[in-house]
C-alpha cells in the first residue's frame, strides 16, 4: 500500500513538473514574441520621427517589416506561435492561479483571463497575417471603425468615454507600477549580476513608463472622440505615436517615447529569461 501511494505521489510530481516546464516554455515564447513586436514598433516610430518611416508604427507595420525580411514567413509563424504560448500561459494563471503568494486571488485570475483573451486576439491576427488572410490592418482604422460602431448604439458616447477613461487609468497604473519597480516580485533577481539588474531596471522603468504614456494618450483621444461625437478623433497606436511629434516638443518627444517602447521590448526579453512562472 505504501508502495502504491509512493507511485501515485511520484506520478503526481512528474505531472506537475511537466506542466511547469510546459507553462514556463509558453511564457518564455510569449514574452519573447511580445518583445519583438515592441522593439519593431519602437524602431518604426523612430523612423517616422526622422521622416524616414514608410510603415505604420503599430502591430500591422511590425508584421509587414518582418514579412519583408529573408525567411519572413517562417518568422511570422514563429511569432504567432509564441503569442499563442502567451495566451495559454495567461489561461493557466486564470485557471490555476499565478506564481506568488496571492497568485490565486480572484482579482489576479480575472486580470489573467483578460490578458488571455487579448493575446489570443493578437495571436489570431498575427497567424492570419502569416497565412495571407489579413491581420495586419491599421490600428488607426480599427480604432475609428470600432468607435463609430459603438457611438451608434444607445448610450454609445458614455461607453466610449468610460472606455477611454479606463484606458487612461490602465496607462497610469502601468506607468506607476513600472516606476515603483513592482515587477521585481515576479523576477529571479538572485540570478542576476548587479550590472544585469541595473540594465533590467533601466529597461523596465523606462519601457513601462513609455508604455503607460502611450496607453494614457490613446485613452484621452477616445474620451475626446466621445465628447465631440466624432469617431475620427479616436486614434490607434500609430496615430497616437505620431501625435507626440505634433506637440511643442516636436519629433524629439516621439523619439523619447519610441525609445521607451524599444526598452520595453528589451525588458520583455529579460522577463522571458528571469520571470518566475
3-class DSSP string for the chain: CHHHHHHHHHHHHHHHHHHHHHHHHHHHHHHHHHHHHHHHHHHHHHHHHCCCCCCCCCHHHHHHHHHCCCCHHHHHHHHHHHHHHHHHHHHHHHHHCCCCCCCCCHHHHHHHHHHHHHHHHHHHHHHHHHCCCCCCCCHHHHHHHHHHHHHHCCCHHHHHHHHHHHHHHHHHHHHHHHHCCHHHHHECHHHCCHHHHHHHHHHHHHHHHHHHHHHHHHHHHHHHHHHHCCHHHCCCHHHHHHHHCCCCCCHHHHHHHHHHHHHHHHHHHHHHHHECC
What pLDDT, on a 0 to 100 scale, did the predictor assign at position 276?
A: 86
| pLDDT mean values, one per 10 residues, the chain (277 residues) | 52 50 88 95 93 82 88 92 94 82 82 93 91 71 89 92 95 96 91 93 96 96 93 90 89 95 97 90
What pLDDT, on a 0 to 100 scale, did the predictor assign at position 18?
A: 41
What pLDDT, on a 0 to 100 scale, did the predictor assign at position 258?
A: 96
Cell 523619447 -> residue: 256
Cell of 171: 496607462
What pLDDT, on a 0 to 100 scale, did the predictor assign at position 15?
A: 46
What pLDDT, on a 0 to 100 scale, did the predictor assign at position 17?
A: 46
Nearest alpha-carbon partner for 94 in 117, 72, 71: 117
What pLDDT, on a 0 to 100 scale, did the predictor assign at position 21?
A: 76
Model confidence, pTM: 0.87
What pLDDT, on a 0 to 100 scale, did the predictor assign at position 135?
A: 57
What pLDDT, on a 0 to 100 scale, did the predictor assign at position 70?
A: 85
What pLDDT, on a 0 to 100 scale, did the predictor assign at position 13?
A: 52
What pLDDT, on a 0 to 100 scale, did the predictor assign at position 4?
A: 58
What pLDDT, on a 0 to 100 scale, did the predictor assign at position 14?
A: 44
What pLDDT, on a 0 to 100 scale, did the predictor assign at position 42?
A: 95
Amino acid at each position: 500500500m505504501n508502495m502504491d501511494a509512493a507511485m501515485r505521489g511520484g506520478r503526481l510530481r512528474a505531472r506537475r513538473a511537466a506542466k511547469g516546464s510546459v507553462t514556463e516554455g509558453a511564457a518564455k515564447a510569449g514574452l519573447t514574441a511580445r518583445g519583438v513586436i515592441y522593439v519593431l514598433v519602437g524602431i518604426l516610430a523612430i523612423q517616422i520621427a526622422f521622416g524616414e518611416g514608410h510603415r505604420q508604427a503599430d502591430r500591422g507595420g511590425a508584421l509587414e517589416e518582418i514579412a519583408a525580411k529573408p525567411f519572413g514567413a517562417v518568422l511570422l509563424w514563429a511569432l504567432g506561435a509564441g503569442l499563442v504560448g502567451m495566451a495559454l500561459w495567461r489561461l493557466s494563471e486564470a485557471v490555476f492561479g499565478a506564481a506568488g503568494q496571492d497568485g490565486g486571488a480572484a482579482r489576479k485570475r480575472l486580470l489573467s483571463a483578460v490578458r488571455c483573451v487579448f493575446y489570443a486576439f493578437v495571436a489570431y491576427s498575427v497567424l492570419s497575417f502569416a497565412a495571407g488572410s489579413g491581420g495586419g490592418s491599421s490600428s488607426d482604422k480599427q480604432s475609428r471603425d470600432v468607435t463609430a460602431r459603438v457611438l451608434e448604439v444607445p448610450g454609445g458616447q458614455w461607453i466610449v468615454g468610460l472606455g477611454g477613461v479606463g484606458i487612461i487609468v490602465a496607462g497610469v497604473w502601468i506607468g506607476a507600477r513600472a516606476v515603483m519597480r513592482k515587477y521585481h516580485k515576479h523576477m529571479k533577481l538572485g540570478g542576476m549580476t548587479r550590472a544585469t539588474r541595473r540594465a533590467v531596471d533601466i529597461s523596465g522603468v523606462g519601457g513601462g513608463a513609455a508604455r503607460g504614456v502611450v496607453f494614457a494618450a490613446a485613452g484621452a483621444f477616445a474620451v475626446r472622440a466621445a465628447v465631440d461625437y466624432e469617431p475620427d478623433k479616436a486614434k490607434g497606436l500609430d496615430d497616437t505615436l505620431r501625435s507626440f511629434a505634433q506637440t511643442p516638443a516636436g519629433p524629439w518627444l516621439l523619439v523619447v517615447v519610441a525609445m521607451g517602447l524599444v526598452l520595453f521590448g528589451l525588458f520583455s526579453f529579460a522577463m522571458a529569461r528571469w520571470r518566475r512562472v
